[in-house]
Amino acid sequence: MIDFRLTEEHEALRKTVEEFAREEVAPVIGDLYEKAEFPYEIVAKMGRMGLFGLPFSEEYGGMGGDFLAVCVALEELARVDSSVAITLEAGVSLGAMPIYRFGTEEQKREWLPRLCSGEMLGAFGLTEPGGGSDAGATLTTAVERDGDWVLNGSKAFITNSGTKITGLVTATAVTGQTSDRRKEISAIIVPSGTPGFSVSKSYSKVGWNSSDTHELSFADCQVPQENLLGQRGRGYAQFLSILDEGRIAIAALSVGLGQGCVDECVRYAHERKAFGHAIGEYQAIQFKIADMEARVHTARLAYYAAAAKMLRGEPFKKEAAIAKLVSSNAAMDNARDATQIFGGYGFMNEYPVGRFYRDAKILEIGEGTSEVQRMLIARELGLR
């Protein structure tokens, strides 16, 4: 039996986050975005609501929910603003999840309570200035010295890595060579403020202006041996599995942005008049909005299907890649059409659609480009 309804708990969460986004995020985010300021107060409120702890068990300060709960929350936040949504997505899926999945009991007890409460953010350092799609081409190294790890190298475009509340970055680094002469890649937790770990100033970005993104560098940065996350040499595989889940989350975020475009356009089509009629009376506008709704509806089904497989414990790599591919396309197309429907006002920052337009493009790039999603889908079909 296929049942696309959310459970009572997920529906209650959806309503709570929808109200929060409308009442607490919408009134202030335009201004923060213009100034490229990180939304500290909003993040603190999301922390108090338990959003950063949604999929984690209560013993580590989480809410005992599941990954679909995170997706539902992301969709509702992104309907209003994507910088806030990506801050949550990266905090949960990239910052805390690697520790939850692969950390020792001690690491979990040390980091998770603060990451779950939102008082601390963690970051995920995979991409390097030399390339992100080919994640195995990591150049950053970590060598053992006097019982510690010493890291050298740099990471590019790392979300949540330089805020006042960032507590750690989990970085991939080459720790040796495998028996078949390939790079042995491991994941290592580097706490903020460790000598030799520096965070460059914020990038100037096209969109996601209120989210925090930096280049990071490690110069003889020394951390204790016990900061190794999971098994030595498993860092690459660990990060790839984190990205599989993350793709469903980015798909949910994309659906939210696409739905936000529909919301804004329906409202505007009733209000805006041209040639003596509301523009929503013209079939050209109606059809455009109908197409937008159809895209977002099918994209939502795609991410629900991927999340359902994941929650059932079945392989979901292909479905996650499909969800990410179609949802980010839908977000991009909806943002373009919404901007068109708003005419000149679509190009003005006073309406959210301009922000949606600027925020949509990265969805086809971050956590694996659309080309990488196609590669993953083709591989799952046996094309190698």
Q: Mind telling me the catalytic residues?
A: 367
148 residue type, one letter: D
Determine which residue in the list 69, 112, 121, 126 makes contact with ligand FAD, applying CB under 6 A. Answer: 126
Q: Does 159 bind ligand FAD (CB under 6 A)?
A: yes
Q: How many CB atoms lie within 10 A of CB 263?
A: 13
Q: Does 38 bind ligand FAD (CB under 6 A)?
A: no
**Nearest approach, Cβ of 352 to ligand FAD (angstroms)?**
19
User: Measuring CA to CA, how many Å separate 106 from each of 60, 100, 103, 300, 344?
Assistant: 11, 11, 8, 38, 55
Strands (E), the chain: 121-125, 141-145, 148-159, 166-177, 183-191, 197-199, 213-224, 228-229, 273-274, 277-278
DSSP annotation of 273 reads: E
Q: Does 258 bind ligand FAD (CB under 6 A)?
A: no
Task: Give burial (CB, 10 Å; 0-12/13-18/19+) of 383.
Answer: exposed
Measured in residues, the chain has a length of: 384
- % helix / strand / coil in the chain, to the nearest 5? 55, 15, 25
Rounded Cα–Cα distance for residues 322 and 251 (Å): 9
Q: Does 133 bind ligand FAD (CB under 6 A)?
A: yes
Interaction residues for ligand FAD, span 322-351 (CB under 6 A): none
Determine which residue in the list 94, 221, 249, 265 makes contact with ligand FAD, applying CB under 6 A. Answer: 94
**Nearest approach, Cβ of 124 to ligand FAD (angstroms)?**
5
**Nearest approach, Cβ of 174 to ligand FAD (angstroms)?**
15
Which residues make Cβ contacts (< 8 Å) with residue 365, sequence separation at least 6?
Answer: none
**Nearest approach, Cβ of 364 to ligand FAD (angstroms)?**
9
Of residues 284 and 381, the one with the C-beta less far from ligand FAD:
381
Match 């520790």 to its residue by tokens. Answer: 99
Q: Does 241 bind ligand FAD (CB under 6 A)?
A: no
Q: Does 6 bind ligand FAD (CB under 6 A)?
A: no
Size of site (CB under 6 A) for ligand FAD: 24
Interaction residues for ligand FAD, span 359-378 (CB under 6 A): 362, 365-369, 371-372
Q: Does 132 bind ligand FAD (CB under 6 A)?
A: yes
DSSP per-residue letters across 171-234: EEEEEEE-TTS-EEEEEEEEETT-TTEEEPPPP--SS-TTS-EEEEEEEEEEEEGGGEESSTT-
**Nearest approach, Cβ of 285 to ligand FAD (angstroms)?**
32
Site string for ligand FAD, 174-213 (x = CB under 6 A): -------------------------------x--x----x
Determine which residue in the list 23, 58, 104, 131 makes contact with ligand FAD, applying CB under 6 A. Answer: 131
Query: By the criterion CB under 6 A, which residues form the site for ligand FAD?
Result: 90, 94, 123-127, 131-133, 157-159, 205, 208, 213, 362, 365-369, 371-372
